[in-house]
Amino acid sequence: MTKLISVFGATGAQGGSVARALLKNGYKVRAFSRNIDSASSLELKKLGAELYKIDMDQPECDIQKALENSDGLFLVTNFWSFFEKEEEYGKKVVNAALKANIKHIVFSGLSACKEISKGKYNVPHFDLKHKIEDYIRQLSKQNPNFVSSFVYAPFYMQNFSTAFMPKKNEHGTYNLSMPQDPNVPLDMGDIDDIGEIVLAQFNNPQKYSGMIVPFTGSYLTGEEIAKKLSNYTGKTVNYCFVPPNEFAKLPFPGAGEMAQMFGFYNEYGAFYKLDKSIAPSITKLHTFDDFLKQSNFQLL
């Protein structure tokens, strides 16, 4: 019997990758989105997904009803949409999933920065996800038929095409400005790789029960990233380290939190004490070189 997996955030980077991988491999997908008329929603419909409009402000009973008859759930929560309500919303979906008799939940989590650093780094979009993860683990322990697995994404390679795209300077060359310590490599991943990892988790719930699977396609310093950008584009890209305390002063929303995140990366890495060897045993992860070629990366 074909399994039905409900996918939250199905039109986002993570959920979209997961939905496509599941559909490609014979699963039915119920794709949840706030806008089921968007181009990305309609593309999933063409691939065979069932679209379902959802708003996280809806009561738990409505979410439970929407999840009924699903065998599994992929849940990713977006701090930048919900802010401090992320934990509340995430737990609400988890409660609804348990009541809907879902057998396996895969949650996209992140490291507990505040706990690991003993309060030095406060990164809510990491820490709130970890609180949701702890809650899921608690429910799984109390309800053995509610299996849970976890996937941790690194710094998206796609960020170099958006927020961290190198900027052209007055000399005609480019500056890649980041608060990543020049001597500390950065865990990076092509977010499209998450689909194959989550597929493997749904294929074998017991094998991945309780397990965190972090993934890293390339582990590079800022200088190494800039060199690869230069080599691919044929343009000179220089790495410019911006200390986190200076980055925090930049005039855009979230600058302070991003600075705290990079401070954590610089001291502990993205995946403190986690096993990064699991993901490469599941699928061939894209390197930064692969990403540049496949995305036809261009500097503006």
- In whole numbers, what is the pLDDT of the chain averaged over residues? 96
Q: Same domain, yes or no, for 119 and 195?
A: yes
The full 3-state SS of 237-284, as one line of letters, equals EEEEECCHHHHCCCCCCCHHHHHHHHHHHHHHCCCCCCCCCHHHHHCC
* Domain count across the chain: 2
pLDDT band at 270 (very low <50, low <70, confident <90, very high): very high
- Say if 278 falls within a structural domain: no
- Say if 277 falls within a structural domain: no
Which structural domain, as residue segments, surrounds residue 150?
4-154+191-214
Q: Same domain, yes or no, for 46 and 173?
A: no
The residue among 181, 134, 129, 135 whose CA lies nearest residue 153 is 129
Q: Same domain, yes or no, for 161 and 256?
A: yes
Would you say 178 and 222 are in contact if contact means Cβ atoms under 8 Å apart? yes
pLDDT in tens, 60-98: 999 999 999 999 999 999 755 666 789 999 999 999 999
Q: Same domain, yes or no, for 253 and 141?
A: no
Instruction: Quote the pLDDT of residue 85.
Output: 85
Q: Same domain, yes or no, for 166 and 250?
A: yes
Strand order in the sheet with 155-156: 155-156, 186-189, 218-220
pLDDT in tens, 88-125: 999 999 999 999 999 999 999 999 999 999 999 999 99
Instruction: Quote the pLDDT of residue 55.
Output: 84
High-pLDDT (> 70) share of the chain, %: 98
Residue 16 maps to which CATH number?
3.40.50.720
